[in-house]
Chains A and B, each alone.
Chain A
């Protein structure tokens, strides 16, 4: 396990809590990276455990919204993010709920974009501003946000994983982690891959052009 000295001495952040503020911002930023250049219309936050118990006092609400708007942990605008979202006509709402057997600092973010699509992401803030994305659009995930990632929805087919990984290899993209899940043999499946280097538009198009692939979402690193 490699830990950077700047994981210890950092992040440079808007207070007051590395887990409840900076970690929340990073989970929000993961959503921002997922919806990328789409226009955000509304965002709903379902807060679990400690996240909903101390929402306002830790500025968790402002940090989450700031992250979804693309702000970094050190951006002083985080303090005004609720107002900024309002000015941009983005509808923001919060609710508390039990998300089950998850870390006490967990939030599900549901974003609606102007193309009529809904994107959902669940993340936990696991201490010292480190996060874990545990669910994307209903599929269990395990992303740290420290690496770029790609989520590929496809139909289960023999050799598809090898096909996807060869496209990455040919393009000099090294894989960090792979998580694959499917409903049934030959049915809908999702592969989630963390990579050392980002997946650019041309590689994304190459992945999208595969006949069994339905959608490709690339995410930049959050941290």
Chain B
């Protein structure tokens, strides 16, 4: 077992083992399972991630609320035209992330990574990078294990819940996980992987969770798209040899403290930030009508639409 990056790095010192090796070994022990079974479960998750990252690229998928959808398809068409400001790797990843979020908002099948609200960043960043470098499939699965290890440390030291720590806890954690996974997949050292994870979290520290109408749609989808860019830039920074002056463990502790210091209005309650802008409130009204609270609904009222 491990409780910090420091501990993991100490366990890895002097060997050619990677973070993913420790994570898989630990999983075999605590879940009383086999390495083969772990890879089977990783493959199952990979497949769902792959499908959700592609499902909304060619056909427009609308959310359950009807408020959002179609962004992934737009981004995909834009990407195919070429001539984008960011390079193709980032744009593809951003389109994948949007697709995951649109599938999610339509009650489709996704993998929470670490949460449903941040489910686009890891598949987006990882798949686009694996495609660019033509990475063998098993190494992509190992990268998912690296990502899980980063997530495990964040859950142990802090939180991945938006209600507890804001968006930094969800999209920040997802970008951290993805950045470390990519560094290790591309042959970076465990120390560089933790640097990438630390940098990705620093980049959005303090980000609030302010979903319009309380839904996992606005601004979640766009934050997942930009989370891909955050993960990729952080991975490149670490691979270039730039390290994080503040080590990963301390960054995570700081993120937790910042999360605790956020007022509850900015932690997934839809009582602040974008949710309470005139536009945000108007969209809420559009869904729930005059029944600001869905509590009045019995499921039998045809006019409200707030309940079924």
Bound: A128/B113 CA distance, A: 9
Sample of 6 more A-B contacts, CB < 8 Å, known A9-B111, A9-B147, A54-B270: A3-B156, A15-B216, A16-B106, A56-B306, A82-B308, A128-B160
Shortest distance in angstroms between B175's beta carbon and chain A's nearest beta carbon? 14
Identify which of residues 190-229 in chain B touch chain A, using a CB-to-CB cut-off of 8 Å.
Answer: 213-217
Identify which of residues 172-188 in chain B touch chain A, using a CB-to-CB cut-off of 8 Å.
Answer: 177
Interface size range of chain A in the complex: 35 or more
Whether B163 and A58, one on each chain, are in contact in the complex, defined by CB atoms closer than 8 angstroms, is no
Binary CB contact string for chain B from 145 to 179 against chain A (1 if under 8 A, 0 otherwise):
10111011001100111011000000000000100
Whether A58 and B216, one on each chain, are in contact in the complex, defined by CB atoms closer than 8 angstroms, is yes
Question: 29 pairs across A/B with beta carbons < 8 Å?
Answer: A2-B30, A5-B23, A8-B177, A9-B42, A9-B144, A12-B110, A13-B109, A14-B108, A15-B108, A16-B116, A19-B163, A50-B214, A53-B214, A53-B294, A54-B214, A55-B307, A56-B294, A56-B305, A56-B307, A56-B308, A57-B213, A58-B215, A61-B307, A92-B299, A97-B295, A104-B163, A127-B160, A127-B161, A128-B155
Partner of A18, one of B48, B103, B117: B117
Whether B297 and A94, one on each chain, are in contact in the complex, defined by CB atoms closer than 8 angstroms, is yes
Query: A residues within 8 A CB of B151?
Result: 5, 8-9
Partner of A15, one of B107, B161, B213: B107
Bound: A47/B296 CA distance, A: 11
User: Given A50-B268, A93-B299, A104-B163: A79 and B107 within 8 A (CB)?
Assistant: yes
Partner of A57, one of B27, B65, B299: B65
User: Given A1-B156, A3-B155, A9-B147: A95 and B295 within 8 A (CB)?
Assistant: yes
Bound: A79/B109 CA distance, A: 11
Whether B31 and A4, one on each chain, are in contact in the complex, defined by CB atoms closer than 8 angstroms, is yes
Is B240 located at the chain interface by the 8 A CB criterion? no
Query: B residues within 8 A CB of A3?
Result: 152, 155-156
Query: B residues within 8 A CB of A92?
Result: 299
Bound: A217/B164 CA distance, A: 34
Identify which of residues 1-52 in chain A touch chain B, using a CB-to-CB cut-off of 8 Å.
Answer: 1-19, 21-22, 47, 50, 52
Partner of B111, one of A5, A12, A62: A12
Bound: A76/B51 CA distance, A: 14
Is B15 located at the chain interface by the 8 A CB criterion? no
Bound: A178/B296 CA distance, A: 39
Query: A residues within 8 A CB of B288?
Result: 56
Is A70 located at the chain interface by the 8 A CB criterion? no
Query: A residues within 8 A CB of B217?
Result: 16
Whether A13 and B299, one on each chain, are in contact in the complex, defined by CB atoms closer than 8 angstroms, is no
Shortest distance in angstroms between A144's beta carbon and chain B's nearest beta carbon? 14
Is A59 located at the chain interface by the 8 A CB criterion? yes
Query: A residues within 8 A CB of B117?
Result: 16-18
Identify which of residues 82-117 in chain B touch chain A, using a CB-to-CB cut-off of 8 Å.
Answer: 103-117
Whether B159 and A96, one on each chain, are in contact in the complex, defined by CB atoms closer than 8 angstroms, is no
